[in-house]
Amino acid sequence: MAGDGPSAPREIPVALDVRSIRKSFGSHEVLKGISLAAREHDVVAILGSSGSGKSTFLRCINLLETPDGGEVRLKGELIRMRQRGGMLVPADMKQVDRIRSRLSMVFQQFNLWQHMTILENVTAAQIHVLGRDRKSAVEKAEAMLAKVGVADKRGHYPGQLSGGQQQRVAIARALAMDPEVMLFDEPTSALDPELVNEVLKVMRDLAAEGRTMLIVTHEMGFAREAASHMLFLHQGLVEDEGPPREIMANPNSERFRQFLSGSLK
Amino acid sequence: MEDLVAYLPLLIQGLRLTLLLAVSTMLLGLVLGMLLALAKLSRHGWLARSAFVFTNFMRGIPEFLVLLMIYFGGTQVLDTALGPGVVNVSPWIAGLTALTLVFAAYASETIRGAYQSVPKGQIEAARAYGFSAWQAFRIVQLPQIWRLALPGIGNLWQGSLKDTALVSIVGLDDLMRKANQAAQTTRAPFTFYMAAALIFLVLTLLSMAIFTRLEKRASKSDRRT
């Protein structure tokens, strides 16, 4: 369960194993070798000031950004990469697509498909990627929309919903894939303050259910309550990590201490 | 009036060819326009540049000239290459090719603009959920490109429907040519040109109505409640 990081039994298998991810944009090295192992049911909060590379790190895991080096394993399966013209590229795009379908991502800007109804947004990937038949996809979608509290919006279009509602639909879209790990890229950063809590509440429930989640966030209170493990990135490196309450109470790094005092004022 | 009744079957024959030509032009032009738009957006500079050169050329010269170049110029080139009269450029092929090339050149700009207006995040979300590149294009990008490009395509359709009249010059038996023939035989040009004009007007008004409906349907997602 969430929040019991250090005392969790050792035999819980690792769901996502990410090793030494490196990434540069031009001459700017954004990630200088970041590793992370998330066991099943872990909720990992990834913090860092803007420009610390935390979103890039998340996007390297599902290869929305192609890392320059490092390894990603989902349930032991390595995403195979190969060299091409001095660059690392996926060796098998089919494998990447398959792994991506097991790693649902929730975006800062929601990225709901604008031309589809809410229901279609939640069924599309089930049908086209997982190959589910329409009927079971719709059933699944309805259940997930009800779970996040927007079942009544099924026939609407994304543009007709508030940001908070859109993000909850995006979470339903992610859940409908029965993902093994969920990736959240600053899910509340684009929301009006009064809409943040409805999304955080849904995420807290998911954490309590034992979902494996990686969350890039600025919500310190949420991270402390919901996360089992916390990573603080600074200039492309892991500057501090550990169980949230411990490292937030006693930061090992001066940078993290400054970050905390800056964000808790 | 009697003349008009007598020649009506002829005009309708011509109308069928005009419609066939216009619809074929739009379908082929849309496919070619999409390919040209993708070429212009390509990472390969040489491909993008070639596509721009081609469409600027097509848009920069009179459509009439394109038609003449393909019909007469094409015949000349084929005769030189293969010997006189081995392969002939038919009025239909020449007309369809000329109208399609011009339609595609304009459509490629409309489609390119629409393509760039679809937010990147839409495609990224599709890829992140395991859609292949082709699936993301077909399921997420294409419907949104269509919605954005539809008004422009409607204008192009209307233009190219009217431009089919040019093809009568090279001897295609379209509505215009039939009207011309009737006008000359009966010596009642006003009657027959007016009849042709009214038929074109009905066609364009009808297609405007159809496009308005298509646009409405495609922009359901824009409606706010």
What would the pLDDT profile of A60-89 be if each residue is shown by its tens digit? Answer: 999 999 999 999 999 999 999 998 888 889
Give the Å distances, CA to CA, from A149 to A80, A107, A144, A172, A210: 39, 19, 9, 9, 19
Q: Which of residues 63-122 of B touch A (CB under 8 A)?
A: 119, 121-122
Both tokens assigned to B225? 């409640």
The pLDDT of residue B3: 79
The pLDDT of residue B1: 67
Q: Indicate if the pLDDT at residue A264 is higher than 60.
A: no
Q: Please classify residue B152 by burial: count the beta carbons closer than 10 Å to its beta carbon, then call 0-12 exposed, 13-18 middle and 19+ buried.
A: middle
B216 contacts chain A (CB < 8 A): no
Query: What is the pTM assigned to this prediction?
Result: 0.86
Interchain contact, B121 vs A156, CB within 8 Å? no
Q: Name the residue of chain A whose CA is nearest to B122's CA.
A: A111
Minimal Cα–Cα distance from A158 to chain B, Å? 8
List of domains in chain B: 2-224 (1.10.3720.10)
Which among A111, A125, A160 has the least Cβ separation from residue B130? A125
Which three-class secondary structure state does DSSP give residue A125? helix
The complex's ipTM? 0.90
Q: Indicate if the pLDDT at residue A3 is higher than 50.
A: no
Both tokens assigned to B53? 């050169």
List of domains in chain A: 14-261 (3.40.50.300)
Q: Among A94, A115, A127, A186, which would you mutate to test the B interface (most chain B Cβ atoms within 10 Å of its Cβ)?
A: A115
Q: Residue B70's Cα: distance from chain center in Å?
A: 16
Mean pLDDT value across residues A159-181: 95
CB atoms within 10 A of CB A202: 21
Which among B125, B140, B225 has the least Cβ separation from residue A107? B125
Q: Answer whether B107's CB lies under 8 Å from B184's CB.
A: no
Window from B134-138, B158-162, B218-222 with minimum mean pLDDT: B218-222
Q: What confidence tens digit (pLDDT) does each residue in A28-44 have?
A: 999 999 999 999 999 99
Give the Å distances, CA to CA, from A9 to A1, A37, A40, A41, A75: 11, 15, 11, 12, 18
Q: What confidence tens digit (pLDDT) does each residue in B205-224 have?
A: 999 999 999 998 888 777 65
Interchain contact, A116 vs B221, CB within 8 Å? yes
The pLDDT of residue B6: 85
Which among A105, A109, A128 has the least Cβ separation from residue B139? A128
| The residue to which tokens 């395991």 are assigned | B130
